[in-house]
Each structure stands twice: as structure tokens, then as C-alpha cells.
């Protein structure tokens, strides 16, 4: 089973450059968690993962200004794997909407995919 939270939008002051830390930016986060429930049909929240809790993990991490997207993505992955033992595999992406590069059109995304070892 895969549970996905996609296009989660956050405003933050993540980045290496002074302008990014001052002006801020819009970020989108995608989280895909794979789990193997013990039941074929899920009838209770305790048989699965509460996506509100996953959202709250992401929100808390996105509130802290961080120089690198790689750090943000890695932190989200590690906290979810540590706190939710039902998760067998996870993929997280963070997309920065504007880059501090003159004439750059587009976005940049960092993705980490990790299986429980």
C-alpha cells in the first residue's frame, strides 16, 4: 500500500544565499510512504498510518530555515522512518519554486528514496 501527500505548500527561508534567507520562497513537498498492513482491508486508523501525523512532521521540519534542500529531505525521511515502524519504504521530494539565479526559469527538486534496512 502506498499513501501519498503531494503538493504540500510551504513558505520558508531555506537556502544558502543571503537573498533567499531574507526574501523567502515557496516550496512544495511530496511524500510517498509504502507500508504493508497486517490486514487486507483497513477499518481502523491503527492499522495504517495517519497522514495528518505525516503532514505535521513535514510542517515542523519545513518551519526551520535550512541552507540545503538535501538536509530538509533527509530530515523528513529519517524522522518518518524512525517514528513510524509500519513504513517500509519512503520517497520524499522538496521543490524550490524560484532560484537565486538571474534569468533562471524553472524549479529545482531534491528527492530521496529509502527503504527500511
Tens of pLDDT, residues 1-59 = 999 999 999 999 999 988 888 989 999 999 999 998 777 888 888 888 999 999 999 99
Number of Cβ within a 10 Å radius of residue 31: 23
- Tell me what pLDDT residue 60 has: 98
- Tell me what pLDDT residue 76 has: 98
- Tell me what pLDDT residue 89 has: 97
- Looking at per-residue confidence, does 42 or 81 come out higher? 81
- Average pLDDT estimate for 55-79: 98
- Tell me the backbone φ, ψ of residue 99, rounded to 5 degrees: -105, 150
Residue 84: which residues within 8 A CB-CB, separation 6 or more?
Answer: 33, 49, 53, 54
- Tell me what pLDDT residue 100 has: 75
Q: Can you count the helices (H) and strands (E) in the chain?
A: 3, 4
Fold of domain 2-115: GTP Cyclohydrolase I, domain 2 (3.30.1130)
Amino acid at each position: 500500500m502506498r499513501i501519498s501527500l503531494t503538493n504540500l505548500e510551504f513558505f520558508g527561508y531555506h537556502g544558502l544565499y543571503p537573498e533567499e534567507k531574507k526574501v523567502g520562497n515557496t516550496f512544495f513537498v511530496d511524500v510517498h510512504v509504502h507500508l504493508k498492513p497486517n490486514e487486507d482491508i483497513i477499518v481502523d486508523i491503527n492499522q495504517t498510518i495517519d497522514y495528518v501525523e505525516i503532514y505535521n512532521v513535514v510542517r515542523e521540519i519545513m518551519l526551520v530555515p535550512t541552507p540545503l534542500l538535501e538536509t530538509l529531505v533527509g530530515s523528513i525521511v529519517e524522522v518518518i522512518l524512525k517514528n513510524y515502524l509500519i513504513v517500509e519504504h519512503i520517497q520524499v521530494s522538496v521543490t524550490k519554486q524560484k532560484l537565486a539565479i538571474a534569468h533562471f526559469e524553472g524549479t529545482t527538486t531534491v528527492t530521496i528514496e529509502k527503504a527500511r534496512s
